[in-house]
Structures are given as structure tokens and as C-alpha cells.
Chains A and B, each alone.
Chain A
């Protein structure tokens, strides 16, 4: 079941139920606006009520005045006809209509002729004449309603006053107030609610971002915890981009130490530009100041001086170069005493390594700084030494048969035609030495080819059974001649291997030939062949003179012959085993030796079996 995704500010499908800071702001603004609108509404309602009361009073006054005028006209006519009872009945009935609160007709001050309240009448009959009170129509208002005073003039007798009071509508102000507040308030509330909803919807996005920022400020580390729900649309997308940038920034910050370390490593181990190029050199480069402290060293320098670059830089070079002459030269150049470039070769590790130090001043105007270039020339020197040794040994080995040939040629020339036997003997020696010379030259060429890398291996199928049969037949006669018991112990089946048949044959011939050569008469030579899963082993065991322990590691070197008096009458080029080992190694194999002086030797050739039989 998929885990439900949680979002900051909602479930991602609907608007959030909790209010965020933006919404709270909106709510506050909304309340303020509500208060303002309420005040406005209340004020408007009050004004409306006052205005409506005023209008209502004016209307009421007009109405009462009209009733009063009607009553005054009617009462004037009745009083003129002296029908007081009718007047009183008119006044009483005018109140009963419900439109008037009270009505009365008075003479002068306080003499009530007719009244809607009969108990207040204090004039029984109208006098013939009464004093007229001059007055104008007046309108007033009291708590009881609208009061109106109208004159009733009776010709020849005097003027009476008709006082009418209208009934005030008791509930009108509150009705108006309610309707006013209701209408305006409802409208205002509706507008406010719409405004609030709109503002809340808009402000919620900013509010939730504000809350997210506050959460981040409080230490929230999870980006997902402050990611906005998709319901917030573009704002959520923009906020997500900001968060992604934050994540990248944090990653960059987190990686900064690693990057710094990496940069440091590059600056130490590689770097870019010129420094990188210098670090890519296989020659060691070291810069030292006038105090003989190392200011720069590349990786090769560290390796060649069998140290770490970090251990070199900042430390004294003295004691690390391994040769007093080199150090003295560095000291002289670094101190500015000498500006001549110097090259010194130093053998280290008991002569196994040859380093060439080239020391020179860095720049003419910069006194006190020396550049040391360290080169590993071990292989070059080894190759030169081998070449010199080869030439020397070859010259020596060539000189012996050539000397014999020259001597026997001279003997043949001097012997004359009569000394046939002497001439024949000389020619035989010349023939033998020529063959030896040919073998020697051939072996030398083969070794040179291998060492120069120009010898090519023509890989093909090599049937070992056939190869060993030929080897056996080639040496049977020689073994019989020396009364040596030559045996070939072969397994019933041998694989077909990949290799150069001629060269493998040459290598095996050299090894078996050596075994027969260095085994005394009546000895024994056994060729044992074994085949394991991925390797063929051919062991050539003899009961010969054996090899000293000290010489066993040297007999594969070119022209090396064991220092044994018994070998003085045994000819050899000293290249046979060298050639055999190189050929076997070209095929991915090797030759090992186990030997004991005066008891015999066993040479074991191991060759990878590349193909099944």
C-alpha cells in the first residue's frame, strides 16, 4: 500500500483546515473591516431613523392638521348655530376614529368647551360672547404625539381654539432601525464574507510559505516536511524550486569540505593548468628555497624519493636525496653560490635503482631557489649495461672460434699439399668452429631479437606429442654416444597448445642439449611431461655436475657460464638458457631450476595450456 504523501499546509487535495499566519492576518483585517462596516452601518441606520422620524412627523403633522381643519370648519358651523352638543359629539367621535389621541375646544385659557375626555369639560354653555385670543396655527410635538392648535372663529361672538393631538406610531423607529441594520448589515456582511474568502484564499499561499519559512528557521531540516501541497498551484511550484535550490546549496555546502579536500588533493596530486601538467610528468620535480626547504614537489618526486609528497613539501630536502654530492650541489645552487646546471646519477637500494638528479637555479633574478629534476634511469642503465656486456661477451665468444679458425687456416696453408692428414685435421677443426660460430651468431641474433622486441611469435597449434617425439629422436644418438640413459616419460595424452612451434622446439633443444652436455658418461637424463588443467610442465632431470646455489640465479643471464673447472672442455655460448627462458616467457610460461652440486639439475618448463587436446 502506497504511503500517503503529506504536504506542508494540507493534504494536497483540498484547502488546509488549519489557519496559517497569512490567514490569521486576513482574519484580523477582516474583523477590523467588520468593525468599520458595522460602525458605518450603525451610523447610517441612525441617520436613516432620524430622517425617517422627521419625515414621518411631518406627514403626521399634515394629516392632523387636515383633520383639525375639517373639525374646525365643522365645529365653527355648529357653534354658529349654537349646537354645542353636536360640537361635543363631533369632538368625541374624532378621537374614536383612532387617528387622534385627544381633541378639545377651549375658550381663552383653560375653559374647555368640548373635549374627547368629557370629564374635563368645564364650560356648560357657550356665552354670547367671549374674549378672543389671538393666536396662529401652531404645531408641536410631545411624547404623546403631534399636537395642533387651530382657531375657530365665530362671527360676532369670538374665537375658540381647537386643540388636536395625533397618535404617534409607537413601533416605527425600531422597525426602521431593524430593517436598516438588517439590509445594510446583510449586504455589508455578504461583501465582507466574499472579500474575506477571496483574501483568505490568496493569503493562505503566502501564509503557508511564511509558516514554512518559520519552520525552517526553527531548525526543520527535512525539505519534504516544508514542501507545499500542490493545491497551492504556481506558488507551490515556485516554492519547490526554492527548496530544490536550498537542497543543492546544502549539498554544495556539505560537499565543500570534500571539494576542498579534493582540490587540495588535486593541488597536491594533480591540479589543473601548469601545476597539473607538472604533476603529470613522470620525472620528479622539486623546488627548494635558499633555506633548502621544499616549496613544491610533484607526485613523481615523492615516489622516486620513496616518500610522500606531503612529507616533502615544507620540510628540508637535506637527508632525503640520499647522496651527499647531490645535497651539496643543491645547497650551492639554492644559496646562489653556483648557477651551473649539474647532473648527478645516484644508485640507491643496493644498486637496484639508479636516479639521475639534475639541479639548476630557477631564474637568474631569483637567487636562492633551486629546481631539482629527478629521473628514474634504472631501466636505461640496465639496458646499457646489458648491451655493453652483450657486446663484450659476444666479442669474447666470437674471438675463440675465430682464433681457432685463423690458426688452423694458417696451419692448412703452411702444411702444403703433401701433408694431407694435417690439412684434413685443420679443415675439420675449421668446420667445427664455423658451425659453432654459426650457432653462436644465431643464438645472439635470437636473444637480440627477443630483447629488442622484434622477435615475433607465430602462434599456432603445437602438438606436444609430436614435438617431444622429434626431440627424442634428435638426441637418441648423442645420448647413446655418451652412454647416457635418455628417457621420455610422457602421459598417454598431451594437449595441443598455442605457440610458436619452432621457437618452443629451440628452447627444449637447448635445455635437453645442456642436460646431455653437462651429464657425464653413463649418467641419466629423464624428460617428464605432466599436464594439469591449465598448464603443461616439462621437467628435464639430469644426473650431471649440478650448479652451485650461488650461481643458480645467474645461469639464465647472457653469456654466463658456471665457474666450474669441469666445464673447461665443454664448449658453450652461454646463450642457450637465456634464449630458452626468453622463448618460454614469450609464451607466457617460465623456467625454474632445482639443482644440487655433483648430483644433478632439474629444469622445469611451465607453459600455459591454451587449448584442449
Chain B
């Protein structure tokens, strides 16, 4: 899975391209953690190109959200498709993240 990073002002947008599943979930978590460390938590996960997530992926998202919440932060996600949203909703992972429609909206939330 390819994971792109873009900088919007002081915010890093992490954009995984492909499903967050199986072994890719670990790579995704590593990338997000590294980006979060670099930008002191100013990150947005742009899930526009994530068609689905499996249990590993959900677990990774939840772990990252938990870690960030310990620092008073929230994992921000945008562009979440219906399939992923439903999976996150059913497993209550959705409650642990903040959702935005698109990247600019998510980036603006840091102001």
C-alpha cells in the first residue's frame, strides 16, 4: 500500500492508497505514528482512497486514536467512504475519531 504525505500549512495529511488490511495495517500505523511525532499530532488521515478496512485496519486506527487521546488529541479523518464508515460505526471505532468531509475542512479544524 502506498502512503502519501502532503503538508497543508503546519498540518500533515497522510493519504493511504488502498485498503487498510492485513500487513498493510501495520505499515499504515507506523506511517501515521511517525507523521504524528514529526508534526506534534497535527495530522489528518485522508481516507479518500481507502475502499475498505479489515479488523487489523480497524485495530490500527483505534490504537492510533487511543494513543492520541492520551495526549489530549483526536485522530482526524476525512474522505471516509460509506463502506469504511459503516465498518467503523459497527465496531464503535467511529466514536474515537473526528470525521471531516474533505482535507481543507480537517485542516481548518486545527485553527
A269 contacts the other chain (CB 8 A): yes
Whether the Cβ atoms of B42 and A280 lie closer than 8 Å is no
A382 in complex: contacting residue of B9, B46, B79, CB < 8 Å: B9
Whether the Cβ atoms of A378 and B49 lie closer than 8 Å is no
Whether the Cβ atoms of B42 and A269 lie closer than 8 Å is no
Whether the Cβ atoms of B104 and A453 lie closer than 8 Å is yes
Whether the Cβ atoms of B42 and A378 lie closer than 8 Å is yes
Q: How many Å lie between the Cα of A450 and that of B102 in the bound state? A: 11
| Chain B residues in 8 Å Cβ range of A300 | 71-73
| Chain A residues in 8 Å Cβ range of B23 | none
The residues in B between 88 and 111 inclusive whose CB is less than 8 angstroms from any CB of A are: 102-105, 107-108, 110-111
The residues in B between 5 and 30 inclusive whose CB is less than 8 angstroms from any CB of A are: 6, 9-11, 15, 17
Whether the Cβ atoms of B79 and A588 lie closer than 8 Å is yes
B4 contacts the other chain (CB 8 A): yes
A590 in complex: contacting residue of B4, B40, B105, B108, CB < 8 Å: B4
A588 in complex: contacting residue of B11, B40, B48, B105, CB < 8 Å: B48
A183 contacts the other chain (CB 8 A): no
A296 to chain B, nearest CB (A): 14
* Residue interface mask A455-472, B partner, CB < 8 A = 1: 101000000000000000
| Chain B residues in 8 Å Cβ range of A455 | 104
Given contacts A303-B40, A380-B111, A453-B108, contact A588 B49 (CB under 8 A): yes
Whether the Cβ atoms of B104 and A283 lie closer than 8 Å is no
Q: Which of B11, B42, B79, B110 has the most CB of A within 10 A?
A: B110
Q: How many Å lie between the Cα of A283 and that of B42 in the bound state? A: 13
| Chain A residues in 8 Å Cβ range of B40 | 303-304, 306, 353, 376, 378
Q: Which of A298, A299, A380, A608 has the most CB of B within 10 A?
A: A299
A-B CB contacts (within 8 Å), total count: 77
| Chain A residues in 8 Å Cβ range of B15 | 588
A281 in complex: contacting residue of B46, B49, B72, B105, CB < 8 Å: B72
| Chain A residues in 8 Å Cβ range of B4 | 590
Whether the Cβ atoms of A299 and B70 lie closer than 8 Å is yes
* Residue interface mask A260-299, B partner, CB < 8 A = 1: 0000000001100000000111110000000000000011
A451 contacts the other chain (CB 8 A): yes
Given contacts A352-B10, A588-B49, A588-B79, contact A299 B102 (CB under 8 A): no
The residues in B between 54 and 97 inclusive whose CB is less than 8 angstroms from any CB of A are: 69-73, 79
Whether the Cβ atoms of A386 and B49 lie closer than 8 Å is no
B6 in complex: contacting residue of A379, A383, A585, CB < 8 Å: A585
* Residue interface mask A365-397, B partner, CB < 8 A = 1: 000000000001011111100100000000000
A68 contacts the other chain (CB 8 A): no
| Chain B residues in 8 Å Cβ range of A398 | none
A207 contacts the other chain (CB 8 A): no
The residues in A between 426 and 463 inclusive whose CB is less than 8 angstroms from any CB of B are: 450-453, 455, 457
**Size bracket, chain A contacts:** 35 or more
B46 to chain A, nearest CB (A): 8
A243 contacts the other chain (CB 8 A): no
Q: Which of B49, B72, B110 has the most CB of A within 10 A?
A: B72
Given contacts A269-B70, A283-B72, A450-B104, contact A379 B79 (CB under 8 A): no
| Chain A residues in 8 Å Cβ range of B42 | 376, 378-379
B79 to chain A, nearest CB (A): 7
A346 contacts the other chain (CB 8 A): no
The residues in A between 289 and 347 inclusive whose CB is less than 8 angstroms from any CB of B are: 298-300, 302-304, 306
Whether the Cβ atoms of A451 and B104 lie closer than 8 Å is yes
A586 contacts the other chain (CB 8 A): yes
A268 to chain B, nearest CB (A): 9
A379 in complex: contacting residue of B9, B17, B48, B104, CB < 8 Å: B9
Given contacts A382-B9, A590-B6, contact A303 B71 (CB under 8 A): yes
- Chain A's closest residue to B74 (CB) is A282
B11 in complex: contacting residue of A282, A379, A585, CB < 8 Å: A379
B42 to chain A, nearest CB (A): 6
Q: How many Å lie between the Cα of A352 and that of B12 in the bound state? A: 12
Q: How many Å lie between the Cα of A222 and that of B107 in the bound state? A: 57
A579 to chain B, nearest CB (A): 14
| Chain A residues in 8 Å Cβ range of B46 | 588
| Chain A residues in 8 Å Cβ range of B49 | 534, 588, 608
Q: How many Å lie between the Cα of A283 and that of B15 in the bound state? A: 26
- Chain A's closest residue to B11 (CB) is A379
* Residue interface mask A130-161, B partner, CB < 8 A = 1: 00000000000000000000000000000000
| Chain B residues in 8 Å Cβ range of A451 | 104
Whether the Cβ atoms of A280 and B102 lie closer than 8 Å is no
A476 to chain B, nearest CB (A): 34
Whether the Cβ atoms of B72 and A585 lie closer than 8 Å is no
Q: How many Å lie between the Cα of A451 and that of B8 in the bound state? A: 9
- Chain B's closest residue to A588 (CB) is B48
Given contacts A383-B9, A588-B79, contact A279 B72 (CB under 8 A): yes
Whether the Cβ atoms of B70 and A453 lie closer than 8 Å is no
- Chain A's closest residue to B108 (CB) is A453
Whether the Cβ atoms of B71 and A302 lie closer than 8 Å is yes
B78 to chain A, nearest CB (A): 11
Q: How many Å lie between the Cα of A588 and that of B47 in the bound state? A: 10
Given contacts A303-B40, A379-B9, A386-B9, contact A298 B72 (CB under 8 A): yes
Report the 8 A-B pairs with minimum CB-CB distance, sorted nearest first: A453-B104, A300-B72, A378-B10, A299-B71, A303-B71, A382-B9, A379-B110, A269-B70
Interchain residue pairs with CB less than 8 A apart (7): A298-B72, A303-B40, A376-B40, A379-B107, A453-B102, A453-B104, A608-B49
8 A-B pairs besides A279-B72, A379-B42, A379-B111 with CB distance below 8 A are: A280-B72, A282-B72, A302-B71, A379-B9, A379-B107, A586-B104, A588-B46, A588-B49
